[in-house]
Amino acid sequence: MRFIRWIFAIVVLAVWAALIGTGLYVAMYKAPDAIPNGDAIVVVAGNASMNGGLGGETQVRLDRAIALFNDERAPRLIVSGGPVAGGQSVADAMKAAAVAAGVPETAITVEGASHSTLQNAIFTADIEDLEKSAPILLVTHRYHLPRANASFRWAGFSDIINVAADPDGAIEPIVGILWEGVKWPLNVARAAAASAAQAGDVPRESYIDYMK
């Protein structure tokens, strides 16, 4: 019984730490005066419509990424997001929207298998011609940036430039911050389990589905 209480206390503390940390990051975020150049702009999907189209958050993130590309902050755009109920991946919908907005198709790389932030990071790291030590511009909402950054660093990226899709927005909707309180501990637990599996030479296909 005492062990269960300890586990419960640790979980509660982890959730509160995630909530407070995320809330402080959102409240204190200040957009840089100038965004440095990188080798790639990586934009991770948010919500999606049931038919595979872009939801509101994803559209905002993509718009920010396209603006960075047009500003020549990086020569390529990587869109990351897996399939939904309709079958099409969110990344494919993002690519179509980016091409319609004028981004050359040859400058876009699609990662269309991921269903979570950890999978966004892992599958983006699998892109063969993307050097993980080179700088990337990581685009998502402010409340998601800390966890996304940690996930991409865990996947091996060492030079990550955080770019908020909503740099001048008001405080994020409370729902997003509340969800981070749950997702952070899960993120850490799944990453730790995956790291242990990797250290034990367990094939990725044995555990990758648990990281959704």
Domains of the chain by range and CATH? Answer: 10-167+174-211 (3.40.50.620)
Share of the chain above pLDDT 90, in %: 58
Q: What pLDDT, on the 0 to 100 scale, is given for residue 50?
A: 46
Q: What is the mean pLDDT of the chain?
A: 87
Rounded to whole angstroms, how far apart are CA atoms 62 and 43? 7
Q: Which tokens belong to 73?
A: 């902050």
Which of 32, 34, 198, 40 is CA-nearest to residue 133? Answer: 40
What pTM was estimated for this model as a whole?
A: 0.89
Q: Which tokens belong to 25?
A: 């990051």
Alpha-carbon Rg for the chain in angstroms? 17
